[in-house]
Amino acid sequence: MTNVAIVGVGLIGGSFALALRRAGFEGKIVGVSSTSTVQKALARGVIDEALPLSEAAATADLIYLSQPISQILETLDVLDAHVRPGTLITDAGSTKAAICERATAKIRRGRFVGGHPMAGKESRGVEQADAELFHGRPYVLTAREPQLEAWIERFGARLVILDPLEHDRQVAFVSHLPQLLSTTLASILAGKENVAGPAAADLTRLALSPYDIWRDIFATNAEPIDAALSAYIARLEEVRSQLRGSEMEALFSRAAASARALRGK
């Protein structure tokens, strides 16, 4: 692999480029993004050159789509006409079923493997890109792809292979539900900030995330998110019924064990 095209050189795309460099990639990295974004990416040394999609795709061995989901879908509609036969295409979209379905319908010359690095920050943009962003974090692929797997492992990420539908079901619980809980809690706490302590700040951190990213996630994963919300509401009702009972101690014990597992402890 000697040429990589990053389509969407923001936090994730920029971090992927930097992680490639740190992992030993010595080829050329081309960026496809807005003029202002690629200027920042060039200044930081994240990419070597900026090109339009058609030109970048024509010479790329790997194309990394790290745009918002709706833009990834639009790119997949036109991408195949510009790639060489056998070009590897992957993405970083937060939902997988809609993207993989579109890729199956549209990609013929290239070969597509869906991807989702379970990493990020509240702040966006290539200015926040970090070569260590994926280190120690799960990185989901929707199919086996030895070349891509090798780079992900060099990043220090934890490779996970999941069917697109199963991916969407699981991230509805571990990613999309936490976002909605944080956002909803922050909306309830409005006007009470003067007495809020660290717990409120910690639990509302995700509420700082911009809606434009989440709009596409809700649109492409509504049913699994609805199921996750239903499960959480049902559990909340159980907790409410147990507030004065002895069951709360067992709940705290189970929850603490789960929290430790999430933290790798």
Higher-pLDDT residue of 245 and 148 is 148
Residue 263 has pLDDT above 90, yes or no: no
Domain limits, the chain:
3-162, 165-262
Across the range 75-93, mean pLDDT stands at 97
Residue 122 has pLDDT above 90, yes or no: no
pLDDT in tens, 1-51: 999 999 999 999 999 999 999 999 999 999 999 999 999 999 999 999 999
Burial code of 198-233, b = ≥16 C-beta within 10 A, e = fewer?
A: eeeeebbebbebeeeebebbeebbeebbeebbeeee
Share above pLDDT 90 across residues of the chain, in percent, rounded to a whole number: 91
Across the range 243-254, mean pLDDT stands at 92
Among 55-59, 88-92, 132-136, 240-244, the range scoring the smallest mean pLDDT is 240-244
Residues 6+ positions from 7 with CB-CB distance below 8 Å? 13, 32, 33, 53, 56, 63, 64, 65, 66, 67, 75
pLDDT in the model for residue 128:
94
pLDDT in tens, 158-180: 999 999 999 999 999 999 999 99
Across the range 52-70, mean pLDDT stands at 98
pLDDT in the model for residue 265:
63
Fold that domain 3-162 belongs to in CATH: Rossmann fold (3.40.50)
Across the range 193-206, mean pLDDT stands at 92
Does domain 165-262 correspond to CATH entry 1.10.3720.10? no
